[in-house]
Structure 1
């Protein structure tokens, strides 16, 4: 009986972290798919994972050549009116105060 309990304990120690990792990756994949379908609106620069070199500025905000958000890399595309972020297309990221980035990552 003790051997069976040990076996169950070891299986739980292996399967629980594996289940948690798979669940995390699935939800990350779902977020990426949603971002690809609907676009992303970012109100705070700090929400980005990473940003490359600065290539300019607009309304006091730095423009970076590329930014990364939740594993997806976006290239700077241009400036749009600050109230135009509701019309985002798939693979686009809007960063306040009106910076538009586009992802060219393969799915």
Structure 2
């Protein structure tokens, strides 16, 4: 009697384990069923290809967004460096002005 699709026929191996025998199809499992199965597999493959194409496009968009974000971060970093330099220069000028005021204050107290 033929085995149904997915059934296994085992043979005893050394150690008591069952080894799978090759699958056998029932006699009515003909070329039409094989063709239907292949067509269904082809359909699934086309669906997967379409999904992978969509994922690929989305990854490309994410890559472009990442590059733009990186460019913006580089620009912002340069602006922050310029701002920091300006703040440092102003702080230095403020310290000099404070020292001058302290000297002037000491001189005016002596007079």
TM range (shorter): 0.3 to 0.5
Larger C-alpha radius of gyration, 1 or 2? 2
TM-score (norm 2): 0.34
* Structure number with higher helix proportion: 2
* Structure number with higher strand proportion: 1
